[in-house]
Amino acid sequence: MTMLERDEQKELPQPQNSNHHSTAPLKEKLFVNSSYLAAEIPLKLGHFVSNLWPSSALKVNDTIWLLGRSYSITPLDPLQRELFEAQKDHQEVPWPTDFYEDFTSRLWMTYRHHYPPIRPSSHQTDIGWGCMLRSGQSLLANTFLLHFLGRSWRRSDQSTWKEYSRIAHWFLDELSPRAPFSIHRIALLGKQLGKNIGEWFGPSTISQVIQALVSDFAPANLSVYVASDSMIYREEVYQAAAGKRPAIYFSHDREAKALYDASTVPTPKAAQTDIFKPLLILVPLRLGIDSLHPTYHGALKACFEMPYCVGIAGGRPNSSLYFMGLVADELIYLDPHYSRPALETKSLSEYTPEDFNSYHCPIPRKIHISQIDPSMLVGFYCRNRNEFDQLCLQLTKISKENSAIVSVEQRAPAYDEDVRSENDFGIVSDESENDDFE
């Protein structure tokens, strides 16, 4: 019996609502569709304009990095070259097959529409405001793939369908105990942190929300540590990995709290132990003012070569992306700005692999590192204490060879907790309109 099966002996109850949007009132359909068009048209135009400056072609002997795995680009033999060049709109060199299988196995969270309203609001889509929420979901979902299925897992492995589908359904778009990481629960926690439903999240907000969501869901068997001011403190990490619940300061939005609590599976408070529980480390960063400062390029690129990297949620100005890899000076990413209908609510056993096709991206995309926004959330996963120690050594090495983006210390300085940054960027205490992601 797998870890997931032990933790979820029986399927959690389904929500009472369902996504039968064909019977929705005409007014509601018009509202959703107009919201979709209002948000998507500028984004599509933005993608069109950015494509006027295409990313560079792949080159033979380039190395591709994807979440700590490397792939080589090798020359094609004459027959392969002839077949490849016959394809319409081909690039200079095709993506390596082993890389492509890895890339298309990663979970891809995007905008969705026609899901049950995120109460107490009437939002039935996150188009136009949820890209950082979706990027955060992608980071967390791919952490779970690594955590439960291992880095070598590929979607083609049919023997793991039950475990894979269980992870995927944790992110379904519904307010339900069986979907602990849904857009609904993320938005409700954000509301308790002072973010209105429909308002963008910054790196600090999404990191705190992920930490709370995971802490409230025992079957995840995962601890989350959020670094403050780009500093990882070993003693705090040991406490988090031993089961200490994070101190997250939520507001007193009673309605949002009641809705969130009603969709949370009650779990007994876990006792702290000396065991190092598998750990997700989240580091909110701002590496520049209006754009990513070039001095940080080397350190940021080095992160993708680390086996502990689970990606970066950040993006271009006004557009959050989930970065997973690297080739030369370009970052490989998943883009949440594609809206699809929410999956219909049904029993877990009724879902098929085809249902989750839209959770996997068929086309790798790249963006030059100089074009990304300086505000981001970096994620690292450590299965045990030895991996955490190795992560610290590698981060220290990167800091010595490049401008440091993440530092490691034994313990935090002796100052009041409220002095430490809890903003959305880790360097200032006030948010400004120019700092928005979306």
The catalytic residues are 131, 335, 337
3-state secondary structure the chain: CCHHHHHCCCCCCCCCCCCCHHHCCHHHHHHHHHHHHHHHHHHHHHHHHHCCCCCCCCCCCCEEEECCEEEECCCCCHHHHHHHHCCCCCCCCCCCHHHHHHHCCCCCCCCEECCCCCCCCCCCECCCCCHHHHHHHHHHHHHHHHHHHCCCCCCCCHHHHHHHHHHHHCCCCCCCCCCCCCHHHHHHHHHHCCCCCCCCCCHHHHHHHHHHHHHCCHHHCCEEEECECCEEEHHHHHHHHCCCCCCCCCCCCHHHHHHHHHCCCCCCCCCCCCCCCCEEEEEEEECCCCCCCHHHHHHHHHHCCCCCEEEEEEEECCEEEEEEEEECCEEEEECCCCCEECCCCCCHHHCCHHHHHHHCCCCCEEEEHHHCCCEEEEEEEECCHHHHHHHHHHHHHHHHHCCCCCEEECCCCCCCHHHCCCCCCCCCCCCCHHHCCC
